[in-house]
Structure 1
């Protein structure tokens, strides 16, 4: 007579983390300007480029000069979505850690003006495109808009 082993209980969520949890690479940036850009990036990535919360946050942060960073953030998001050949992982706004894609985007924003060759290579790897110059131009303009408003992004 053979006996079959009893089925094991279903694994708990802690034993099998979600794909998102496995992709979280690091903590939120300490720079408030990088956190501001990250918030707008996450909101527009999840809710569309016309997200009211992202617009209101940029209005509050930049005051009367909010239009330039807002339009350039929308442009960057549209360019990334149009040009990307691979997924860009975005965590929820309440998440206290960064995905690898978010880390790369913030690094590109921080390096766009000071190390454009490095930013170009990172962007090409992120979106899977050999010549990402059009997208890099919109990212560089966004970084310049933040810096011109006294909010340079450092990461």
Structure 2
């Protein structure tokens, strides 16, 4: 018996090809599983952004805190070593990719991810994270 059907059901999406999206996904997974002060997430941000790592790291922590405080349903997060992504992770990356260019799309996706329609604070945090990545020369692609 193989695990392929279960794997593709639970992890329906491939990892993003965009390196910047992978950085955001790694931070999302680490902070979601191990807390906002996760050292591995901080080290990844330092490695990716160099001396300018504080802004994206702080804003990612704020976004994760907003998501945790406002989520009305559970959000599936895969382990960091997993070669595929959950539907929630893909939605999260799409929200970050669309936050500045298509805010209404990002709003609807975030509302679906969190399970309710009052998501203004979390959307502002997501937009700030996307802007921090873009300002550092690492825009998040879908």
TM-score range, shorter chain: over 0.9
1:124 aligns with 2:141: no
Matching residue of 1:51: 38
- How big is the alpha-carbon RMSD for the aligned residues of Structure 1 and Structure 2? 1.5
Runs of 4+ in 1 over 3 A off after TM superposition: 12-17
Cα separation, partners in 2 of 1:55 and 1:16, compared to 1, 3 Å: same
How many matched pairs? Answer: 142
Cα separation, partners in 2 of 1:16 and 1:75, compared to 1, 3 Å: same
Say which SS state the counterpart of residue 145 (structure 1) adopts.
Answer: helix
1:42 aligns with 2:29: yes
Normalised TM-score (structure 1): 0.87
Say which SS state the counterpart of residue 108 (structure 1) adopts.
Answer: helix
Matching residue of 1:142: 129
Q: Give 1:99 deviation, angstroms.
A: 0.1
Output the CA distance in 2 between the equivalents of 1:127 and 1:116. Answer: 16
Match of 1:28 among 15, 27, 32: 15
Match of 2:71 among 43, 62, 84: 84
Normalised TM-score (structure 2): 0.95
Unaligned runs of 5+ in 2: none
Bigger proportion of residues as helix: 2
